[in-house]
């Protein structure tokens, strides 16, 4: 909405020179295309039209560059839009499950995945190999987002809308189907929004029915 060109928000970062921004932008491209380990810093420099040494003035190692790309996405994945949703549900006891799930999914998709598709891809690919990133995600996402979602699930179970099962199990199903929606986006060519809208509806419908008591 604010940003009409859905792009990885390299532009967000403050106090970066043009060249530094170009480096981030290039790294985003190459890391997501070829993977972190397969990418040479010389390639990044080439694409950013920058001397190779320039990269290392700002980021001391190649890995620092990776983390600089991935950290803002992790933060955005969780923090800003989240509060409203769950609080909305918390305050409005009537908010029904489909609305909750749809707004949860849609916000993540619109604010994170559509804007930072390359960074999300890098995150998914590299998280298995970088303890620092795992930690970051755990600290940020797990300790912030997860408790709130578990609470919400608990409330829906109390209201008889979600079937009896460990709340963690329900959360897993919720998350997996969200991830599946995204991943299918990677495989399918990035065509019309219509499709994605329909896909969103269908997935929400599926999840709500699947969880129902």
Partner DNA sequence: GATGAATGAGTTTTCATTCAT
Partner DNA sequence: CATGAATGAAAACTCATTCAT
Q: Where are the alpha helices (DSSP H) in 60-192?
A: 62-91, 97-108, 117-126, 131-137, 146-158, 167-187
Alpha-carbon distance of 2 to 47, in angstroms, equals 28
Cα angle 110, 62, 41; round to 5: 95
Residue 155 touching DNA (CB under 7 A): no
Site for a copy of itself, residues 75 to 114, rule: CB under 8 A: none
Q: Which of 167, 169, 151, 9 is nearest to 82 (CA)?
A: 151
The least CB distance from residue 5 to a copy of itself, in Å, is 25
The least CB distance from residue 28 to DNA, in Å, is 15
x/- letters, 2..41, toward DNA (CB under 7 A): ---------------xxxx-----------------xxxx
* Residue 61 interface partner, choices DNA, a copy of itself, none, CB cut-off 5-8 Å depending on type: DNA
Alpha-carbon distance of 186 to 24, in angstroms, equals 22
Which residues of the shown chain bind a copy of itself in the complex (CB under 8 A)? 34-35, 37-38, 125, 128-129, 165, 169, 172-173, 175-177, 179-181, 183-184, 199, 202-203, 206-207, 209-212
């Amino acid at each position: 909405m604010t940003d009409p060109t859905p792009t990885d928000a390299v532009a967000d970062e403050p106090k970066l020179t043009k060249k530094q921004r170009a480096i981030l932008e290039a790294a985003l491209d190459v890391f997501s295309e070829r993977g972190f380990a397969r990418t040479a810093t010389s390639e990044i420099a080439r694409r950013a039209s920058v001397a190779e040494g320039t990269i290392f003035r700002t980021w001391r190692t190649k890995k620092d560059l990776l983390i600089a790309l991935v950290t803002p996405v992790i933060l955005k994945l969780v923090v800003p839009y989240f509060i409203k949703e769950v609080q909305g549900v918390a305050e409005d006891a009537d908010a029904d499950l489909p609305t909750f799930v749809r707004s949860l999914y849609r916000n993540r998709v619109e604010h994170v995945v559509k804007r930072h598709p390359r960074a999300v891809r890098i995150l998914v690919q590299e998280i298995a190999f970088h303890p620092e990133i795992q930690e970051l995600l755990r600290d940020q996402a797990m300790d912030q987002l997860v408790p709130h979602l578990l609470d919400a699930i608990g409330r829906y179970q109390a209201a008889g809308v979600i079937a009896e099962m460990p709340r963690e199990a329900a959360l897993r199903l919720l998350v997996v189907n969200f991830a599946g929606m995204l991943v299918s986006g990677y495989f399918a060519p990035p065509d019309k929004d219509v499709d994605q809208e329909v896909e969103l509806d269908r997935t929400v419908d599926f999840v709500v029915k699947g969880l129902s008591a």
